[in-house]
Structure 1
Amino acid sequence: MQLLTTARNCVLLLSLIGAATSCNVFKKKPEKSSVTGWNYNDKTQGNFYVAKPKDINTAPGLVFVQGGTFTMGATQEDVMGDWNNIPRRVTVNSFFIDKTEIANVHYREYLYWVENVFSDTTAYPEVIEAAKPDTLVWRSELAYNEPYVEYYFRHPAYNYYPVVGVNWKQANDFCVWRTDRVNELELIKKGYINKNNIKTEMNGGGQENFNTKAYLMGEYQVQPGKLATSKSNPLKDAQGRPRTTVKFDDGILYGDYRLPTEAEWEYAAYGYIAENPQVKRGKKSRGEENIANKQIYAWKNAGFDNLRSTKAGAYQGAFLANFKRGAGDNMGVAGGLNDNAAIPAEVTSFAPNGFGIYNMSGNVSEWVADVYRPLTSLDEDDFNPFRGNVFKKVDMSRGTGNLRDSLGRIIMVPESDSALRERRNYQRAYAKNYLDGDSLSGVSYGYGITTLISDKSRVVKGGSWNDRPYWLSPGTRRFLEEDQSSSTIGFRCAMTHYGAAEGTSRKAQTGNFFPARRAKR
């Protein structure tokens, strides 16, 4: 009898729960605007869609770098006598950067796409040629490097060696291409773009190839995917109908791949997070804001000026980077090769630094976004410092539907200085040469007359396989014209991190939060 009563009670309880559920007793209330009181994501109240904060996915190839303050500039004695890296304290916000340098196979993937999309050589005669790296950078009058000219970029043995012979402009174009390919694939996987789109593109699509900015502006029309037109599509318009196009604020698309700024590159190279041990504070842990030593190279110091692994074991004495030890010594002696690499080595060779990034000291030097000036550290801001801005806007004079160039990208033009006169934060769109000389003297850099520095001079960071140890320090800096290349220079990409500087998880918050206290009466 008791068992029968218990069973009846259970049935009654389940019935009540089912009824309550059907009456939406347990239905979560929609998020409400704290300024208007209207509901978000509610089709009865306008259906203003607000994406919920969630874990921020790291885009392919990147690692998260938690920002902070550091002393940017010289670490060792200025043996070159340039005095172009005067130490100064700056802050860099959190960002993403490539785990490795861009390899030959990655750049060949880019060329493969260019060769197929712009296969109509009559309409695009220079696009393919302009994208190819200059393999002649290996050539020397007094050395036999012809095999590298022919095979370094193409031979499968060098697939994962860093690409070289790429100038700054080509590296920048690669970043634009990578942004579009990653976002296009994301939209295909999510079901917002038809997967057959890529076939059309790769069949000589030309201008009709996916570009993130053109897609967001409605200038690039594409066949929607299955989810985009289905009732299960979470994106709805004001009438509650499925929205076939994605907006950036939907939280689906990634940001732009780009070259890192000089400050970002140098900060990431030091990997100082490994120098700041975590201390337990109740249930949480936090670093003590202590950096014991100014690092010389990208790896944590275990002794003075150490270029070899000092940890006891199989790797003790092994070189920690690919560089030139001295005149005529690029790899050591047979049977005891010091860095085991005569030319660039694979991009995952040698030990990663504190952020998990490979070869920030040695292997190949790398392009960064900045325009070079010897006294940059005296001019730049101390938060996210960068020289090279040209502030642009969309060229709307062409009219809606005609805003793309022949490559399918939105045409951007510099802002008009006349429209900026009343602004207080900036008054000129072209800021590459900002603070060059004073207005009274009219002093400026005279390229080819008094200096080799111009607005096309771009900063090169990090030492290479053919450099002495001095150049391996992240604080050192050199420059090269943006349309030139070298057998010792490659690159890696970066991406801006949106949201809390602490990290990428949903629990990461900006600022410190304390328990609320009720005021005393």
Structure 2
Amino acid sequence: MKKLVFIISVSFLLASCGSGDRGQLVGAKGKKWHPEKPLGMSLVPGGSFSMGKSDEDLAGLQNAPTKTVTVRSFYMDETEITNSEYRKFVHWVRDSTIRQRLGEEAEFSGGGDGDGGNNGSIQDFAFKGSANADDADDETPYQQYSIHYDPTNQRLNWDVDIIWETNEYPDQYYVTVMDEMYLPADQSYNGQRLMDVTKFKYSYKTMDIEAAARSKGDRSQFIKEHLVEVYPDTTVWIRDFNYSYNEPMHNDYFWHAAYDEYPVVGVSWTQAKAFCDWRTLYHNAYRRSKGIHNVNSYRLPSEAEWEYAARGGIEGATYPWGGPYAKDDRGCFLANFKPMRGDYAADQALYTVEAESFEANDFGLYNMSGNVAEWVNSSYSAESYQYSSTINPNVNDKKNKRKVVRGGSWKDVSYYLEVSSRDYEYADSARSYIGFRTVQDYLGNDLDLNQPPR
């Protein structure tokens, strides 16, 4: 027995010496952390502010009474998400879907040898093995496979470019797949071959953490899968206006390079949420390929975060620029909205303007008022200010489909441009005047705008 105790003691001593901590409690440390500001974002230092309307706005007090709240630090996009940025998401989902179908057709049909084709056969697009295979060392795993359209969990083949020209299709199997992706001939016109945008959907899962935290047992009941069509609704430029000619915006706004840096519109709240998930997936997959730690999730801001960021650190501000007027001292408008009883062009813009227009506020954020209104991750309730928390408040009722939009737009009067004004739209609705921007939590020592400088 004594011998056994001696052996255990020696073993413990050797293990302690081998760890290099001399038997002291030094903690289990993770990967070395290097804070990194995401591209195109500004750091909004946390702090307290008076959220809501002033006593002078009696009508606004009905749904936005003044309340002191505190928010933590976060990063926010300096501009609204642009057409070119959202188009990258659309193209990723489109190409993933097509490559998935090509891989399935190559596997289940046997492909062919490409008789008479110019580019081999559909076998060029065959899956590259299991997505979990040990040899999955591609430097771009975010493009290896579609977790959204892959019941076989096979890696997609991104080594070969998709063939878009019909006269270059390699074989009949390729023709079969591509024909599925386009509208029938009787739904096309002017010699155009139009894609069936309803085919391209993004699937992702979320967990209701609040409900799961308050419940015991299996948390699978709180996990939900979302399937979202990703293409923006370009018909909003027609449906939002009666007896008005807006066909050029319908035809060109999302696709033409002239509008690349303009804010995306025609995107619903559910589509904006899907974009946030994809942006997180895309960024983290690249970082994993480099052996770097994950970044925090991209998401829509809460209503409190949005208003705090819009104020730019100016307490009691009516607008992001601080003053109570929509013009500067030279008589120039400070935002893109509907001034002078409907003279849309008085501010030098008929519709939207480029996302990085006018002056940024003191947090470096552009167009927090005007241009396009913005979705936030909060449900609209007239009395939500009365029962929400005073620290990082956010009311997001899953059953309430009315979601808050903030900031006003190119077609709104100046009242809706005020940083404290609230409005809402239904989560599945898309409008020609609503876009969004994303935020990301700041990790590490919390910054506080209210603390004295060191």
TM-score interval w.r.t. the shorter chain? 0.5 to 0.7
Map 1:46-195 to 2 at 5 A.
49-54=29-34, 56-75=35-54, 77-78=56-57, 83-119=62-98, 120=100, 126=198, 128=200, 130-139=229-238, 140-188=241-289, 190=290, 192=291
Deviations 1:414-453 (A, max 9, x none): xxxxxxxxxxxxxxxxxx27xxxxxxxxxxxxxxxxxxxx
Distance in 2 between the 1:31 and 1:69 partners? 44
Alignment of 1:469-488 (within 5 A): 469-488=414-433
Contact 1:31 1:39 in 2 (8 A): no
Equivalent position of 1:299 in the other structure: 321
C-alpha distance in 2 between matches for 1:384 and 1:132? 32
Could you tell me which amino acid in structure 2 is paired with residue 128 of structure 1?
F
Counterparts of 1:27-38 in structure 2, within 5 Å, are 37=24
Pairing 1:353-372 to 2, within 5 Å after superposition: 353-372=361-380
Q: Give SS of 2:334's match.
A: coil
Deviation (angstroms), 1:38 = 5.1
Taking a change above 3 Å as real, the CA distance of residues 89 and 136 of structure 1, as seen in their structure-2 partners, is: same
Query: Separation in 2 of the partners of 1:344 and 1:352?
Result: 17
In structure 2, do the counterparts of structure 1 residues 71 and 104 end up closer, same or farther at CA, with 3 Å as the change threshold? same
Q: Look up the equivalent residue of 2:413 and give its one-letter code.
A: R
When residues 488 and 75 of structure 1 are mapped into structure 2, their CA distance, relative to the original with a 3 A threshold, is farther
Question: What's the CA shift for 1:63?
Answer: 1.1
Q: Deviations over 1:203-250 (max 9, x none)?
A: xxxxxxxxxxxxxxxxxxxxxxxxxxxxxxxxxxxxxxxxxxxxxxxx
Q: Which amino acid aligns with 2:361?
A: N
Q: What is the TM-score normalised by the length of structure 2?
A: 0.64
* 1:308-319 aligned within 5 A: 308-310=327-329, 316-319=330-333
Q: How does 1:264-343 map to 2 (within 5 A)?
A: 264-272=305-313, 275=314, 291=315, 294-301=316-323, 305-310=324-329, 316-332=330-346, 339-343=347-351
Q: Matches of residues 403-422 of structure 1 in structure 2 within 5 Å? A: none
Alignment partners' CA distance in 2, 1:352 and 1:76:
27
Q: What amino acid does structure 1 have at the position aligned with 2:439?
A: A
The SS at the match of 1:153 is: coil
Gaps of 5+ in 1: 1-29, 41-47, 193-250, 276-290, 311-315, 333-338, 389-431, 434-453, 515-521
Aligned mates of 1:325, 1:171 — CA distance in 2: 28
The structural deviation recorded for 1:187 is: 3.0
CA distance in 2, matches of 1:179, 1:350: 29
- Alignment partner of 1:467: what SS? coil
Matching residue's letter, 2:97: F
Report how many aligned residue pairs link the two structures. 313
Q: Mark the structure with the bigger radius of gyration.
A: 1
**Sequence identity (%):** 38
Q: Aligned with 1:135: secondary structure?
A: coil
* Residue of structure 1 equivalent to 2:295: 254
CA-based RMSD of the aligned residues comes to 2.8
Higher normalized helix content (fraction of residues): 2
Change (3 A) 1:113 1:467: same
Cα distance, 1:105 vs. partner? 0.5
